[in-house]
Structure 1
Amino acid sequence: MRVRGTTKVIAALLLSGALLTGCGGGSEDNAATSEAAPAVGEVAGGEQAARQGAADQGKNTAAQAPDLRVDQRSIIYTGSITVRVEDVTAAAAQATGIASAAGGFIGSDERHSGTGSDTANLTLRVPAAKFSSVVDQLAKLGTEEVRGINTQDVTEEVVDLDARISVQKARVESAKKLLSQANSLDDLVMLEREVATREADLASLEAKKRRLADLTALSTITVVLLDPDATQAADPGDEPPGFLAGLSGGWKALKASLAVLLTVLGAVLPWVIAIGVPAVAILYTIRRLRRRTPPAGPALPRPAPATTDAAS
């Protein structure tokens, strides 16, 4: 009985070992198969995986809530100010110094002098954080006459550009990865063209972002400096509407039309004199010659031949 019991125990152990060996072999085969499948799928579906990754990255970027606090918003400041000063040249130099001290620079400088009244038109680019202080300093150069300030909030545009740039960068990287895995000449050419197109789109988006960054970082101020004798050009939008405005507009249109008509007449008159006078002289001479020449009379009939009288 003891021998049989021992034999049964040994047989059970051998059977258990065989079963464990079979299970271990099956798990190893499954593991090998599972390891081989992703490798094949990665080669076959690389482009699809790359596109999906780019889309996921774009979704994650767009899902991040932007910081929309007032001090974090992207705002473009533009302003204009007209100041009447005693010395336009000295005031223009002071305005240049104010812009330089604020960390800005002169965008354009246009001056008119020698006509009895001096004027200067300056375009200043100053940091947005010092926009208000610079405008106040410019107003103290003389007597302020006109001031205008405009703001444009481009925060949403900046956030949209950031998201599009992130997605486009992911698309460029995925195209480059696929390019490194190209196996044929046709695939190589097609992927190179795709990479170039995506890089061009990315460069365009980055250029737009740099443009917005420049406009938001540096504000634009247009400064008009007038001396005491200079007259400021009236704004057409300041004219009151109604009959007087219509009459003024009609009178201006009439003067413009007369100016155009006189210009055309002045351009045509030399040709009329050069061609018309000789033509009139020639026509007059031809008519005089026709009057002196007598008209030709009708032709006389020929006499009939004489006939012999039969009686004679």
Structure 2
Amino acid sequence: MLRLATILLFFLCASACSTTGGAQNLAPPSFTAAEAQATQSNEAAYVSRYLVKEADISLEVESIDTVVSDLKASLERLQGYVDRSEQRNERTIDITAKVPSEKFDTFISAIGKSGIITNKSVRVKDITDQVIDTGARLKSMKALRSRMEALLNKTLDIGQILQIEKEITRLQGEIERIEGRLNSLKKQAAMSEVNISISKKRVLGPLSYIGVGVYWVFEKLFIIE
């Protein structure tokens, strides 16, 4: 019994020494590649796809004011908004609209009913992997901060306390930066951007119609079909 008690005391002392030694080694612990991969795989299994949708549309209309008013009303119904509006000249206005991604197609359809689409470009980018990777990195950094805070509570040496607090401050700054990046990615996916260039339709006068007719006659003199 005496020998068993001596062995147990030895291991307790060794454990205490190991804890003290760990306080001196301030190199932050890190997750293994397997742990990081498992975290990402688990998140990928439960997260929906994050898609960034954008569109550039040129629209020719009879009345700019009427169409702008109609588009604003459509955005309000769809819980979107006008992010930017610029009057390029008396005949053209550029509008950047933000609309919830799930209502992107509905808004594009509403634009098509407002006038004649002369140019249209739609882009969809999948940023799911970026969101998952950034989220996994954020989770790792928060866990690392918790470990450092636990280490701080066990340390009595003033020099080591100052070093650990400095490391925690650095980690906090990194966490806030990653949180900002993650929020930005999610906002991009949540709200789609639609750039609309609205131009007033030109109405030909009498002389213009005569000119078109003369051009047609001369064209047929040289080209029948």
- Where does residue 100 of structure 1 map in the other structure? 76
- Report the 3-state secondary structure (helix = DSSP H, G, I; strand = E; otherwise coil) of the residue aligned with 1:103: coil
What amino acid maps onto 2:71 in structure 1? A
- Where does residue 60 of structure 1 map in the other structure? 35
Aligned equivalents of 2:187, 2:24: Cα separation in 1: 37
Question: Does residue 169 of structure 2 align to residue 196 of structure 1?
Answer: yes
- Where does residue 3 of structure 2 map in the other structure? 26
Gaps of 5+ in 2: 204-225
- Where does residue 190 of structure 2 map in the other structure? 217
- Percent identity, aligned pairs only? 17
- Report the 3-state secondary structure (helix = DSSP H, G, I; strand = E; otherwise coil) of the residue aligned with 2:44: coil
- Structure 1 residues 47 and 186 mapped into 2: Cα distance closer, same or farther (>3 Å)? closer
> How many pairs does the alignment contain?
201
- Where does residue 221 of structure 2 map in the other structure? none
Higher strand share: 2
Aligned equivalents of 2:24, 2:198: Cα separation in 1: 62
Question: Does residue 48 of structure 2 align to residue 72 of structure 1?
Answer: yes
- Report the alpha carbon displacement of residue 163 of structure 1 after superposing the two structures with TM: 1.7
- Report the alpha carbon displacement of residue 33 of structure 1 after superposing the two structures with TM: 2.9
Gaps of 5+ in 1: 1-23, 231-312
Across the aligned residues of Structure 1 and Structure 2, the Cα RMSD in angstroms comes to 2.5
- Report the 3-state secondary structure (helix = DSSP H, G, I; strand = E; otherwise coil) of the residue aligned with 2:31: helix
- Report the alpha carbon displacement of residue 229 of structure 1 after superposing the two structures with TM: 2.5
- Report the alpha carbon displacement of residue 107 of structure 1 after superposing the two structures with TM: 0.6
Return the structure number with greater relative CO, CA threshold 8 A, min gap 6. 2
**1:77 and 1:219 in contact (8 A); partners too:** yes
What amino acid maps onto 1:174 in structure 2? R
| TM-score normalised per structure 2 | 0.79
1:272-304 deviation digits (Å, cap 9, x = unpaired): xxxxxxxxxxxxxxxxxxxxxxxxxxxxxxxxx
| TM-score normalised per structure 1 | 0.58
- Report the 3-state secondary structure (helix = DSSP H, G, I; strand = E; otherwise coil) of the residue aligned with 2:189: helix
- Where does residue 39 of structure 1 map in the other structure? 16
What amino acid maps onto 1:83 in structure 2? L
Aligned equivalents of 1:170, 1:104: Cα separation in 2: 37
- After the TM superposition, which segments of 4 or more aligned residues of structure 1 sit over 4 Å from their partners? 46-52
Aligned equivalents of 2:12, 2:27: Cα separation in 1: 20
- Structure 1 residues 48 and 187 mapped into 2: Cα distance closer, same or farther (>3 Å)? closer
- Report the 3-state secondary structure (helix = DSSP H, G, I; strand = E; otherwise coil) of the residue aligned with 1:145: strand
Aligned equivalents of 1:97, 1:68: Cα separation in 2: 38
- Structure 1 residues 181 and 31 mapped into 2: Cα distance closer, same or farther (>3 Å)? closer
What amino acid maps onto 2:128 in structure 1? T
What amino acid maps onto 1:62 in structure 2? Q
- Report the 3-state secondary structure (helix = DSSP H, G, I; strand = E; otherwise coil) of the residue aligned with 1:67: helix
User: 1:162-201 counterparts in 2 under 5 A?
Assistant: 162-201=135-174
